[in-house]
Chains A and B, each alone.
Chain A
Amino acid sequence: SAVISQKPSRDICQRGTSLTIQCQVDSQVTMMFWYRQQPGQSLTLIATANQGSEATYESGFVIDKFPISRPNLTFSTLTVSNMSPEDSSIYLCSGAGGTEAFFGQGTRLTVV
């Protein structure tokens, strides 16, 4: 399966600032997704990153808060905007081709 490099692996940010998380896949993938995992919880889908067009957001997530880019089939970014302590979480990107989906190592974000 493909390998996803996600960075940063962790960050501590001030409230009101923004953080951009990057994911680079070592091969082209059809689909890329962004998830949030709050402490001790399962994964919640934020959005599907569409190559060359606007991302498709799940209920409860909006583009102004979580803008996503996917300029090509191997790269995507997620920005967490105007952060508050409630945004403290692990953010994971996922790539999928065929039946299998694989994940980056995650970004552990703490907002203070």
Chain B
Amino acid sequence: GDSVTQMEGPVTLSEEAFLTINCTYTATGYPSLFWYVQYPGEGLQLLLKATKADDKGSNKGFEATYRKETTSFHLEKGSVQVSDSAVYFCALRSGNTPLVFGKGTRLSVIA
């Protein structure tokens, strides 16, 4: 079945550092890919998405590009802030099926 593998955390960065969280996937078809963010004590919010190969999703300074050849959807941000501290989930969805999530990566940004 479909699956998502993302880098283990936790990740601790200093403010203004560059962030990369790796995500790779396995799917039989052509899924849509997502990054969700969960701030402490809150539910999941969609951060960005891409629905086909070579699409780039972006939001709040975060970016991820749908790479079919490497089955990857790595999350990047050029300069993180303390307010970016959260858990980040990579996910995929094929058609009308439920989302399949990675294990999540906890990011802590220190001033």
Contacts and interface: CB of A to CB of B under 8 A. Distances in A.
How extensive is the interface on chain A, given as a class?
20 to 34
B89 interface: yes
A43 B43 contact: no
Interface in B85-101: 89, 93, 96, 98-99, 101
Given A42-B101, A48-B98, A103 B93 contact: no
Interface string A91-105: 010101001111111
Contacts of B67: none
A7 to B, nearest CB: 12
A45 B98 contact: yes
Contact of B102 (A6, A42, A96): A42
Nearest to A104: B43
B32 A33 contact: no
A99 B98 CA distance: 10
Interface of A: 1, 6, 30-31, 33, 41-43, 45, 48, 92, 94, 96, 99-106
